[in-house]
A = this chain, B = another copy of it.
Amino acid sequence: MNKEAFRKISYGLYLVSSVKDGKFNGQIANSMFQVTSEPSTIAVSINKENLTHAYILASRVFSVSILSEEAPMNFIGLFGFKSGRDVDKFKDVKYRIGKTGAPIVLDHAVAYLEVKLIKEMECGSHTIFVGEVVDYDNIRNDPPMTYSYYHTVRKGKSPKTAPTYQQEEPQAAAAAPTTAASYVCSVCGYVYNPAVGDPEHGVPAGTPFEDLPDDNDLEGDP
């Protein structure tokens, strides 16, 4: 029973966005597949705790931006680690409003699918949403990001002491030379370093991981 088995499932990296009462939110997800081709439907698995989950249930529409291999860490970290309850994730991001009213993030996306929810299935901590694709298009021809690329190639550029991806929830990293411990989003790999904080999003240096808003929109490894 080697847990490594689960890491051999192949995934992409996607940005699932929705709308509620005129507000936009989005999050990183990896669990998405096409279900049928006639009509074109897709399924995504979203954590019930996440704000995006509430938005999808409310508006019954969402979009999926398929992220590019070159999507930068801070962009993925914004959508994968921050909560839309605390920050407006769409403030500095290029997007347009789709046919359904859902926002479609265009930055660092190679393609998008826009979806009307057909049905949902509760599965413990997550809900699988199945929707009909009502619009879609190519955006650019960069290769799409895969989970494997993100964790092997991107980590390849990090210092050896950087925490390696773990399937489990955020945890203390292997001791890094300049920090006591860092925390890693188990989906996107975003690293939170308490010694540094996250000044860009109003988190002062020295803020312990435990004191971060616990309602953040982190999509834990499903």
Contact = CB atoms under 8 A, between A and B. Distances in A.
Interface of A: 1-6, 8-12, 30-43, 45, 66, 110-113, 118-119, 121, 123-126, 128, 130, 135-138, 144, 146-148, 167-168, 220-222
Q: Shortest 8 CB-CB distances between A and B: which pairs?
A: A10-B12, A5-B111, A31-B33, A2-B138, A5-B136, A8-B144, A8-B111, A121-B121
Contacts of A144: 8-10
Copies of this chain in its oligomeric complex: 2
17 contacts: A1-B136, A5-B66, A5-B112, A5-B113, A5-B138, A6-B113, A8-B110, A8-B144, A10-B12, A32-B33, A33-B45, A34-B45, A35-B45, A37-B168, A37-B221, A43-B128, A128-B128
A28 to B, nearest CB: 14
At the interface, is chain A mostly helix, strand, loop or mixed?
Answer: strand
Contacts of A110: 8
A30 B34 CA distance: 9
